[in-house]
Structure 1
């Protein structure tokens, strides 16, 4: 049996800011991971493509407040930085 993916360890190198900010990024990244895994069966960020994160922004955050969408965008940018990809996203 394999261990579940540790998002905290994955983001450890790029997380900065206050404890509350780091916890928010971890919580949001875990939710993003769960939604992508449910839709595309891609369990780790290493298997993701840009389209997966763009889908999350478009479909999972529909109807959410602008502030919420912005905070998720920040988390997605953090994930892209950790994956060392040149992906850009807009809300």
Structure 2
């Protein structure tokens, strides 16, 4: 049995800003992780490709407000920076 992936530990070194901002990024990254894991069985961000995150932003958030999609986009950019990827996303 393996331990569940700890998103907080994964993002700890890169999270900056106020406590509320850090919590929001962590919560949104965890939601993204759950959505991608359910759809593609990719449990950790290390296994993700750009298409997985783009799918989440485009299809899972299509019924949400512009503000919500923007904040998820910021979290996605943070994840990409942590993974040292040059992913760009269009909303």
Shorter-chain TM range is over 0.9
The Cα offsets for residues 7-41 of structure 1, whole Å up to 9 and x where unpaired, read as: 00000111000000000000000000000000000
> CA separation in 2, counterparts of 1:63 and 1:8?
27
Q: Which runs of 5+ in 1 are unaligned?
A: none
Q: TM-score, normalised by structure 2?
A: 0.98
Matches within 5 A, 1:15-30: 15-30=15-30
SS at match of 1:57: helix
TM-score by length of 1: 0.98
Match of 1:32 in 2: 32
Q: Which residue of 2 aligns with 1:67?
A: 67
Name 2:10's counterpart in structure 1: 10
- Equivalent residue, structure 1, for 2:79: 79
Q: Secondary structure at the match of 2:25?
A: helix
Who is 2:49 aligned against?
Answer: 49
Runs of 4+ in 1 over 4 A off after TM superposition: none
Q: Secondary structure at the match of 2:89?
A: coil
Shift of 1:89: 0.7
Once residues 80 and 67 of structure 1 are traced to their aligned partners in structure 2, the CA distance between those partners, rounded to angstroms, is 20
Structure 2 portions without partners, runs of 5+: none
